[in-house]
Amino acid sequence: MGLKLVIGNKNYSSWSMRPWLALRATGIAFEEVFIPLYTGEADKQRILAVTPSGKVPALVDGDVTIWDSLAIIEYAAERFPQARLWPEDRAARAHARSISSEMHSGFMALRNECGMNLHRPVKAIALSDDARANIARVQQIWTECRERYGKAGPFLFGAFSAADAMYAPVVHRFLTYAIEIVPEAKAYMETMTALPAFQEWTRGGLAETLVIERFETV
């Protein structure tokens, strides 16, 4: 039995994008199960039938269910070591895990004020000081990674890794909200937007017609 990844709307679901990209970019085969978000009780029950968290993403591997984006990526990294989802070097791997956890548990202001919405026309908005600080910190993270590991390839740790998957929705946010970007971060964003898996997700999101009103406020 193959892997099933349960995801929400590609246009909006940044947490779904992360494990989806980690799997797709490293060639791990999976079946995608789409459950539209915030449509009402029936779809909520479909999510709850997979995971008690009531949230997507969730990964089903036979009788094992894993929910929460970073836990799914960790599981995939263990289950498919050949995918090299984390850097091989221990210090680089610790660095990659640190920035991935920082993404997973932080950047609330950026997440709240600049929700991922691929359909949204590109336009800058007024941002809080906290969101601006988040944006500066993300660019500092990317720049430092590129300085340290850039010789090994164009991604944060040279080759594509879980850390790139964790930051992928931020690339979309920076583009959609016309955020000012330092040159090192810009080059990294170009690498990500050229990644076939990133483009596949983006095409999928843009092809969706479902609108979630609560995410269409800015």
Ligand X SMILES: N[C@@H](CCC(=O)N[C@@H](CS)C(=O)NCC(=O)O)C(=O)O
Instruction: Give the residue carrying structure tokens 């494990």.
Output: 19
Determine if 106 is a binding residue for ligand X (CB under 6 A): no
Contact segment (CB under 6 A) with ligand X among 13-21, 138-146, 162-170, 174-182 equals 13-21
CA 28 to the chain's CA centroid: 16
What DSSP string runs through 49-83? HH-TT--S-EEEETTEEEESHHHHHHHHHHH-GGG
Q: How far is the CB of 91 from ligand X (least distance, A)?
A: 25
CA 19 to the chain's CA centroid: 7
Enumerate residues 40-69 that contact ligand X by CB under 6 A.
54-57, 68-69
Q: Which is nearer to ligand X, 72 or 185 (CB)?
A: 72
Q: How far is the CB of 186 from ligand X (least distance, A)?
A: 26
How many residues bind ligand X, per CB under 6 A? 13
57 neighbors 51 (Cβ within 8 angstroms): no
Q: How far is the CB of 43 from ligand X (least distance, A)?
A: 9
Neighbours of 154 (CB within 10 A): 17
Q: Which is nearer to ligand X, 14 or 193 (CB)?
A: 14
Q: List, as own/partner pairs, every contact residues 33-41 make where C-beta atoms lie below 8 angstroms and the sequence separation is at least 24, other chains included.
A: 33/4, 33/5, 33/6, 33/7, 34/7, 34/8, 34/9, 35/6, 35/7, 35/8, 36/8, 36/9, 36/210, 37/8, 37/9, 37/12, 37/13, 37/212, 38/212, 38/214, 39/210
Q: From residue 148 to residue 187, what is the string marking binding to ligand X with x (rule CB under 6 A)?
A: ----------------------------------------
Q: How far is the CB of 158 from ligand X (least distance, A)?
A: 25
Instruction: Give the residue carrying structure tokens 């269910």.
Output: 65
Q: Which is nearer to ligand X, 158 or 169 (CB)?
A: 169
Determine if 13 is a binding residue for ligand X (CB under 6 A): yes
Given 15, 107, 155, 167, the residue binding ligand X (CB under 6 A)? 15
Q: How far is the CB of 37 from ligand X (least distance, A)?
A: 5
Token pair belonging to 184: 């090192």
Q: How far is the CB of 192 from ligand X (least distance, A)?
A: 19
Q: Which is nearer to ligand X, 54 or 81 (CB)?
A: 54
Q: Which residues bind ligand X (CB under 6 A)?
A: 8, 13-16, 37, 54-57, 68-70
